[in-house]
């Protein structure tokens, strides 16, 4: 649960932005040496938690956090589907 909480803390940032700072997250995942299969499982759990919070509370911030989690998940899903695609997706890592 500690790792899931750490990931959720990275996603649930206090500022709103059109795009989540994906580059920072990717660097953090690499530094922490988190395996992609484990990361995807944890992101899926976090997404379900955030979706439930939005449904229960209707909070705007949580809605953005759901979108941020979705952006992170989409990036890693693309990497998993096509290994070696990091180079073509590098534009997403710039703020």
Residue-level pLDDT, tens digit, the chain, 95 residues: 799 999 999 988 877 776 688 888 999 999 999 999 999 999 999 999 998 888 888 776 777 888 889 889 988 998 888 887 777 777 777 75
**Residue keyed to tokens 């703020």:** 95
Q: What pTM, to 2 d.p., does this model score?
A: 0.82
Phi, psi for 90 (deg, rounded to 5)? -60, -25
SS3 2: helix
User: Which residue is listed with tokens 């660097």?
Assistant: 27
Residue 79: predicted pLDDT: 87
Give the C-alpha distances (Å, rounded to integers) separating 91 from 10, 22, 63, 71: 20, 10, 24, 13
Cβ pair 50, 66 in contact under 8 A: yes
pLDDT the model gives residue 95: 59
d(CA 80, CA 84): 9
């Amino acid at each position: 649960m500690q790792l899931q909480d750490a990931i959720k803390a990275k996603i649930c940032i206090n500022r709103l932005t059109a795009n989540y700072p994906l580059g920072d997250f990717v660097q953090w995942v690499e530094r922490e040496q988190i395996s992609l299969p484990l990361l995807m499982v944890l992101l899926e759990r976090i997404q379900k938690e955030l979706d439930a919070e939005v449904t229960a509370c209707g909070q705007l911030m949580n809605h953005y956090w759901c979108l941020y989690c979705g952006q992170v998940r989409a990036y890693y899903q693309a990497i998993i589907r096509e290994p070696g695609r990091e180079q073509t997706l590098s534009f997403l890592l710039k703020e």
